[in-house]
Chains A and B, each alone.
Chain A
Amino acid sequence: MNGTLRFYHLALAIAIASGLFVLLTGGLLAFNEVRGKVSMLVNSKQVVRLHDELRSRPKDEELKLRIRQLDLELRRETFYRLQLSRNASRALLGGLAVFLASAHFVRSSRRRLPDPLAWGARKAGEQRRTAALARYAVAGAFALVAATAVAVSTRPLNLPGPAASAPDATDPNGAPHPDSQAGHPSPVSPLPSAEEMQQQWPSFRGPNGSGVASNATVPVMWDAKTGTNILWKSEVPLPGLSSPVVWGNAVFVTGADESQSSVFRFDADTGALAWSATIKLPGGARPPKPEVGEETSLAAPTPVTDGRRVYALFPTGEIAAFDFSGKQVWARNIGPLENQYGYASSLAIYQDRLLVQIDRGQAEDGQSRMLALNTQTGQPLWEVKRDVAGSWSSPVVLDVNGQPQLIACASPFVIAYNPVDGKELWRNKCLESDVAPSPVLAGNMLVAVAPNTAIVGLHPGATETAWKIAEGAPDATSPVSDGQRLYVVESSGMLTCYDIQTGKVVWTHDLDNMFYASPAIAGNALILVSRKGNSWVLETGDAYKELGKGEIGEECCASPVPLGKRLFVRGKTNLFCIEAK
């Protein structure tokens, strides 16, 4: 017997022995699994029975001891068997490796060269026949895939159609809709109704971003130096250009510096700082500080509240929700938000959707987008790309003939989206340059501003503009309307009143001051606050009529917030509450 043959026989014997070992070990493992001996702890009927008994006799100490002992025994047995099973698997793999090595050796030792002559000549037309059969096989496989798809499609869909999805499941008083109960506990914290939102100042420039509080009656004169009509004045711990939002007796403002982005709640009655909360992103690290202009700050976007939580966004990309006690509910980073002067768009809200307009770079860069986050979890609900240039304008949600529309402005479009799913509803190409003013609904007319170029009036949904005014377009402030007229103040202080139906100038007046804050209307009072902190209260109407003046004694870029009998103004350092004494 030569050496090669001896090795062959040895390898064959090893292959047979290891093969039998693999089969035997594999069989035992399978048997162990099928008999459920490994998962005995989980499936133990005895444990379940004893637990049931314990429910009826919760103070039976002897029974508890028996359960503990049984549990311990079962655990020991389970982990022993698991370890045994794991060891057996390793042994099986070892046996398999030996089997494969020896079997491959046996095979290669007996390898014979092929003998094409014995196969005979290749038949003519064989290729064609094979191709024909292959075509049938491919068609058959496709038919099988199609049949499977049809079978899957027979699975019933258990969702109501879009028609059944009323935008608001709560009645105007905030009570849950009776149909939504169906024997289940009602939601513990329903979303605020539209009426609730109208009664508060939940976002930048108030309900619908209009800047109007029609029921408010605020003082016409105040002076921070003498304390005239100043109910309170509180220092805001961190700087920021964002405006206050108010819900009930809670006044929220944001502030940020090199190291933190924070939200502050002040008591509307006393001005006391109720709490301050700093955003803590998961992981702890703060995103890098973006480059921002001096006139934009690290806290330019105004927060938004739905009366349950307050939501704040910062140019770092940090966005977070805090409950009314200051506890962070969620936080995430949606950056980078860096743009030319620093990110400044404020948040908007619709039901449980937090809406973020992120416009950056040039239109062709593809960096601009509109994002909707779930207010309860912060998870993205939808996101749409926007073919627009960077902007500093804030989105507004309007009710147009019963349909909610999210309006966003940036060069060159005014675009309306469905805030529920982000689908584009219409767009109008009427803007240019760096858009900072926000759109506003004036009567039945939507007004948008192309800075230093034109003020545009259009009917929501229309593809053509109703009117266009080529002069007096502000570059930073947003317009405000009393329903009949439009009031626009330019950065230079030139105040102009327009007829909203025709776009014609009604009157103009030079206030001879610089303005960054957008004007607001309280009842029939038009309120303007200049960068120096000087204020004018005018009567809305077809003529310029001054009702009074005010001073806060410090710089101001944030828009004034009239609500009830109070006016909230954020200066460079302090937050002021103005109320007639």
Chain B
Amino acid sequence: MIWLLAAQRFPPPEFTETGHSLPGFLAPLPRGPWLEHLDVAVLVGALALASWLALRHRSRRGIVALGIFSVLYFGFWRKGCICSIGSIQNIAQGLADSSFGVPATVLVFGLAPLVFALVFGRVFCSAVCPHGALQDLMLLKPVSVPVWLEHGLRLIPYTYLGLAMIFAATGGGYIICQYDPFVTIFRLSGSALMVSCGIGLLVLGIFVGRPYCRFLCPYGVLLGMASNFSKWRVRITPDTCTQCRLCEQSCPFNAINASTVETPSRTVKTDKRRLAAMILLLPVLLGLGGWLGGVTGKHLAGRHRTVHLAERVYLEESGAAKGTTDASAAFRITGAPVESLYADARMVQDRYVLAGRLCGLWIGLVVGGKLIVLAIRRKRHDYEADQTRCVACARCFRSCPQELQRLGLPVPEGAPLAPPS
């Protein structure tokens, strides 16, 4: 009960005359330590189960069932908090500010899905993340997003990740949590804007598979990068790929790389020249990104409370703004000199400039890297799940005749089967 009492910062008034009794708490109460341990245990257990279901048992139904559980537990019961996606902000702030402590639970939520991704691929996205699972359940009539457009749109999460890290590391706030579209649905409350965004993304998710995961989620970027190194990962076929093409359109997330056997590639001089040009472009993009990031960072600093206050006070001091705001009036009562506030604000600005440069370099690196990768022509014999993009949803399994044969289900007529290996 201690934490229940501790939640009341001020003693409640006593309505002795009217006998009015205070209503219960409106905000979520702090949780007991054992519940935090339970969250960690459920997360790790769900990750292990998702890995087994996707890689070993190859069960789409199991993945769906686990997804429903995650939506109910991490979503509606835990109200979308604690959340692995948002936890990276705590970690970033902890890394940037040695006086900021990151709770062990948050650390586990941030790192455990990445560790699993390093070993088994993006099993967190498959059925453990309530955001991903909710969108997965919404998908009814998948519409294919053109691959070229997908490449362009996938730059957004990288940028979002960079910005989120800037704001978290400099104490400017947690924008991933602030602009989380699904938390409003899990909590049945929120600003009109975010509720609209959440509903809009869910409606879009009926036709476009996991729009948030693919085109917005900053944590998905990290999971995708970790997944690239995974030793065990989702394979479409349990046996040998016969290039039957039956799986080609089974993935609503464009996460299957087609075989290049039927489209023989020719290595021509133009390809080589293009690759060389893209490699030469990389330092230019890095420079441009770093410069733009530095310039933008100084302006983004206005979001930080110290800079925001300093700007307001400066406007008041210079006569450009009339009256005071609550914050500026409170500052004046402290008696602190304005020069000291300006100096603090400039220090924050400097931090933002540095963080902005790093973010710009990051975006330049991502764009340059993507252009280089797109300029490389790869030969691929089998149809494969893309290491970065595959969210281990297990949809493609049953489109493979080898899988159907393994399960003892009827195989489509004429579908080529590999000899038993």
Interfacial residues, chain A to chain B (CB-CB below 8 A): 26, 33, 86, 89-90, 93, 100, 103-104, 107, 113-114, 116, 119, 121-128, 130-131, 133-142, 145-146, 149-150, 152-153, 155, 157-160, 162, 164-170, 180, 182-185, 187-191, 334, 351-352, 369, 376, 380-383, 420-421
Contact = CB atoms under 8 A, between A and B. Distances in A.
Given A138-B155, A169-B338, A149 B367 contact: no
B155 A145 contact: yes
A513 to B, nearest CB: 43
B152 A86 contact: no
B384 to A, nearest CB: 14
A152 B148 contact: no
Contacts of A351: 337, 340
Contacts of A383: 98-99
Report the 9 A-B pairs with minimum CB-CB distance, sorted nearest first. A137-B152, A133-B148, A187-B335, A134-B151, A116-B245, A189-B335, A158-B311, A141-B155, A169-B337
B260 A127 contact: yes
A113 B155 contact: no
A127 B377 contact: yes
A136 B334 CA distance: 55
Given A107-B140, A155-B302, A90 B412 contact: no
B248 A157 contact: no
In this complex, the interface size class of chain B, counting residues with CB under 8 Å from chain A, is 35 or more
Contacts, number: 186
B201 interface: no
A89 B99 CA distance: 42
A114 B248 contact: yes
A142 B155 contact: yes
Given A140-B152, A158-B311, A190-B337, A146 B292 contact: yes
Given A122-B263, A134-B147, A90 B188 contact: yes
Nearest to B199: A26
11 contacts: A113-B246, A125-B263, A134-B148, A138-B374, A145-B159, A149-B360, A159-B342, A184-B332, A188-B335, A352-B340, A421-B346
Interface of B: 98-99, 137-138, 140, 146-153, 155-156, 159, 188, 192, 199, 244-246, 248-250, 258, 260, 262-265, 285, 288, 292-293, 295-296, 298-300, 302, 307, 310-312, 314-320, 324, 332-340, 342-347, 349-350, 360, 363, 367, 370-371, 374-375, 377, 399, 412
A406 to B, nearest CB: 14
Nearest to B296: A149
A103 B155 CA distance: 33
Contacts of A116: 244-246, 248
Task: Decide if the interface of chain B is mainly helix, strand, loop or mixed.
Answer: helix
A159 B300 contact: no
B293 A149 contact: yes
A524 to B, nearest CB: 37
Contacts of A128: 265, 377
Contact of A126 (B263, B299, B343): B263
B190 to A, nearest CB: 11
Nearest to B300: A152
A167 to B, nearest CB: 7
Nearest to A418: B343
Given A114-B245, A138-B370, 19 more contacts: A26-B199, A100-B138, A114-B248, A114-B399, A122-B263, A125-B263, A133-B148, A135-B371, A136-B148, A137-B148, A142-B363, A152-B299, A159-B307, A159-B342, A165-B339, A180-B338, A182-B319, A190-B335, A376-B336
Given A158-B314, A184-B316, A139 B371 contact: yes
A351 B342 CA distance: 14
Residue of A158, A334, A376 most packed against chain B (CB within 10 A): A158
A116 B159 CA distance: 37
Contacts of A420: 343
A49 to B, nearest CB: 24
Nearest to B415: A113
Nearest to A86: B188
A123 B258 CA distance: 13
B74 to A, nearest CB: 16
Contacts of A421: 343, 346-347, 350
Contacts of B285: 142
Contacts of A133: 146, 148
Given A113-B412, A138-B374, A146-B288, A153 B299 contact: yes
